[in-house]
Structure 1
Amino acid sequence: MRVAIVHYWLVSMRGGERVVEALCDMYPDADIFTLVCDHEKISDKIRRHRIFTSFLQRIPGARRRYQSLLPLMPFALEGFDLSGYDLVLSSESGPAKGVIPPPQAVHVCYCHSPMRYIWDHYHLYRRNAGFLARLMMPLIAPLLRAWDAGSSLRVDRFVANSHHVASRIGKYYRRSCVVVHPPVAIEEFAPSAGFDDFYLCAGQIVPYKRVDLAVRTFTKLNRNLVVVGDGDNQDLGALKRIAGPTIRFTGPASFPELKDYLARCRALIFPGEEDFGIVPVEAMASGRPVIAFGKGGALDTIVPGHTGLLFKEQTVDSLADAIDLFETMEHSFHPELIQLHAAQFSIENFKAGMKRVIDQALSDRQTVVDVKPYAAHLSPVFEDLKHAPLH
């Protein structure tokens, strides 16, 4: 069986690329198709596969400014020749599912999220875009939405990374799907002997992650908050201007540094609405509770009162109330139980879930292929008619 793995772009190693790695484990001979690729920034596991890039790769600066090429991505994806492949696995957050699979192939799409910037986060992205992008988005977005919805019909089976994403797939594509949580390398995290007097906010610093809410709240409460991550200079500058003396910005951290912060924090603060959210699972794998906004993927991963707390509104008062409540019951959170809960999000569980979906999709496809053509059932009738008198 020839397998093609389609991923939107390979320019870093984040959650989406970890999914590609797991698929590479499942199909070691698969070919990879991606819009643009920076070979120096991907893992050896991915680099060992044959990687095909689109014509966007030849545009100067594409590996750094790939997001500005969004209007060209449908043309680039449809330019991939997937003839001869039996199974197409698309990893979708950008428009990866828009490839054209051959008629005999089964296309399974693992959807991290329908494209946020043209669907439910459209207005947020437009507000934070530059002048030219704000001008062009109302002209381009309707065309991309039509293409995105139409290309969903090329998928035989959708898999969502959370129930939140599953509901969005139902809303925008009118398709049902199963949920398989993404792979998290939980075995690489472990609790520490104790914790220090700081809370942690970690991840890429972009507006929708609402790091500003954490900074404002901890400045008001005069409690220690460590912010780990990098972002646009303008976003970082705005955060530092509103931060009080108890807020510390570390910038990007190495993996060993991040593990240390996760293991030693009192709790992880997760104030944004995420499709799934890898960092909360990593924190729980480190035995630490999570205080998160109660929407999105956090509803799939956090058990209130046992592995963390959820707050209802993205306001300073709501988050502050959750922190006050947490500190009254902090002693009731047990690192061993929190770590045990995180184990269900392992890489092996992801592979097992995907194998079940793929095997079923292949079985369903084989059933369709094995059905005899309709005309074959009528052939005896036509044999009789050949000898019947004409009137």
Structure 2
Amino acid sequence: MSPDRTFITAEWLSETGGSERVVEQLAAALPRARVFTPVAFAHGAPSIDRSRIHAAFRHPEPVMRRREAAAAMNAVTWPTWGRTLARRADLVLASHHMSSHWTAIYSDVPHLSYVHTPARYAWFPELDDRASSSVPARALSAHIRRMDLKAAPRVVAYAANSHATRERIQQVWDRDAVVIHPPIDLERFAGLEPSPDVAPFLLGLSRFITYKRLDFVIDVGEAAGLPVKIAGGGALEGELRERAARASVPVEVLTGLSDVQVAQLLADCTALVYPAVEDFGLVPVEAMAAGRPVLALDVAGTRETVQHGVTGFRFPELDARAWGDRVADAAALSAQDCRTRAASFGAPAFRQTIVDWVAGSV
């Protein structure tokens, strides 16, 4: 198989989040592969040379604010692109969280799939109820389930980003997967120290969407009597600002931050509060790389990354008072222990594991 005829597929390359960072590392592991995505933001996945990115829709920011529109872009693109791959590709590696392995339906080219999660709003609405919000959203979820069940038997091999995701793949697609934890860029945090005289605050960092539960971060800040900073961006910005205005502690909502600013924010915080049920969750690992502890749920991905009583604390439920009572204990944990834990999720090891997995699967 020719490296020049290898394609990496991704649902979209938008503002850099966990899945976009993985696509960047997949592209680094396979440096001659090209990257196809239905929609590419101007600054999505910045480490990938623009000449390697093939996008059906560029600069889609206005319509990408609506998930239904983004999904429609995916739905109309994959059939045509899948048939094109039959002529142009020797191998496809999908970075999948909604639809990117669907090209397997339309092509006999060997497909591998690195899965962040089977689309949770389609398969696990108890974890993400966005699909219940409208008739189009419910129709989209049904379409995702149909297409996934067509694609899954045609994919040669699956890798999961966590043991929790592996279990979900087995449950809904009846396929096994190897577990390859996603990487973080440790160089972003090398030598990073808290800003001089920084005042204590709790941090929430993620996309502004419902299941991230950023409102609960504010609840914990109120319980602990500490200021809160909420960083990221997304559709719920207005609601978060309204909640911040009602809070009994100072709350800042920060958007449009650079990677450098985000890294410093992680280094400066007293603790990262991470109430989402995540398949893996890169942000908690990044917080530990910055030397800061994490407060998280004792489920799914954070159960695999946050060491209870060593790099943070895990909780059985969303009880703001219980979380707030642990902030002082978290602040006293060793920054070096946090960094040591994060180092086990470095990018070089991930890239080599991906290369070995690809070579052993085809």
Q: Same fold (TM over 0.5)?
A: yes
Give distance in 2, aligned partners of 1:345 and 1:60.
31
1:305 maps to 309
CA RMSD of aligned residues (A): 2.6
> Quick one: which of 286, 293, 301 aligns to 1:289?
293
Give distance in 2, aligned partners of 1:29 and 1:162.
27
1:52 maps to 54
Q: What secondary structure does 1:79 align onto?
A: helix
> Identity of paired residues, percent?
27
2:119 maps to 115
**Contact kept in structure 1, 2:224 and 2:325, CA below 8 Å:** no
Q: Which runs of 5+ in 1 are unaligned?
A: 363-391
Residues 1:20 and 2:34 are matched in the alignment: no
Give distance in 2, aligned partners of 1:296 and 1:222.
29
CA pair 358-202 structure 1, distance change in 2 beyond 3 A: same
CA pair 345-67 structure 1, distance change in 2 beyond 3 A: farther
Matched ranges for 1:1-391 at <5 A: 1=2, 2-43=5-46, 45-49=48-52, 51-54=53-56, 65=66, 67-71=68-72, 73-80=74-81, 81-82=84-85, 83-100=87-104, 102-103=107-108, 105-121=109-125, 124-127=129-132, 129=133, 134-189=134-189, 190-192=191-193, 196-232=199-235, 233-316=237-320, 320-328=321-329, 330-331=331-332, 333-362=333-362
Instruction: Note the alpha carbon deviations across 1:189-235, whole angstroms, 9 max, x for none.
Output: 14526864222111222111111112123224322222222333442
Q: 1:109 Cα deviation (Å)?
A: 0.3
Q: Which runs of 5+ in 2 are unaligned?
A: none
Instruction: Note the alpha carbon deviations across 1:351-387, whole angstroms, 9 max, x for none.
Output: 122122111102xxxxxxxxxxxxxxxxxxxxxxxxx
Give distance in 2, aligned partners of 1:328 and 1:12.
34
CA pair 94-178 structure 1, distance change in 2 beyond 3 A: same
Q: 1:329 Cα deviation (Å)?
A: 6.4
Q: What TM-score comes out, normalization by structure 1 length?
A: 0.81
**Contact kept in structure 2, 1:24 and 1:46, CA below 8 Å:** no
**Contact kept in structure 1, 2:294 and 2:306, CA below 8 Å:** yes
Q: 1:44 Cα deviation (Å)?
A: 5.1
The AA in structure 2 aligned to 1:32 is: V
Instruction: Note the alpha carbon deviations across 1:59-97, whole angstroms, 9 max, x for none.
Output: 996566564252563442121111242221011112000
CA pair 157-281 structure 1, distance change in 2 beyond 3 A: same
**Contact kept in structure 2, 1:157 and 1:361, CA below 8 Å:** yes
User: Comparing both structures, which one devotes a greater share of its residues to strand?
Assistant: 2
Structure 1 stretch displaced more, 299-308 or 71-80:
71-80
CA pair 87-186 structure 1, distance change in 2 beyond 3 A: same
Give distance in 2, aligned partners of 1:44 and 1:271.
29
The AA in structure 2 aligned to 1:307 is: T
Q: 1:274 Cα deviation (Å)?
A: 1.4
Instruction: Note the alpha carbon deviations across 1:173-197, whole angstroms, 9 max, x for none.
Output: 1111011111211121145268642
Give distance in 2, aligned partners of 1:236 and 1:201.
11
Q: What secondary structure does 1:304 align onto?
A: coil
Give distance in 2, aligned partners of 1:283 and 1:58.
30
Give distance in 1, aligned partners of 2:360 and 2:348.
18
**Contact kept in structure 2, 1:84 and 1:102, CA below 8 Å:** no
Q: What secondary structure does 1:137 align onto?
A: helix
Q: What TM-score comes out, normalization by structure 2 length?
A: 0.87
Q: 1:298 Cα deviation (Å)?
A: 0.5
Q: Which has the larger radius of gyration?
A: 1
CA pair 40-338 structure 1, distance change in 2 beyond 3 A: closer
Structure 1 stretch displaced more, 186-195 or 82-91:
186-195
Q: 1:328 Cα deviation (Å)?
A: 4.1
Q: What secondary structure does 1:345 align onto?
A: coil
Q: 1:326 Cα deviation (Å)?
A: 4.4
Alignment size in residue pairs: 350
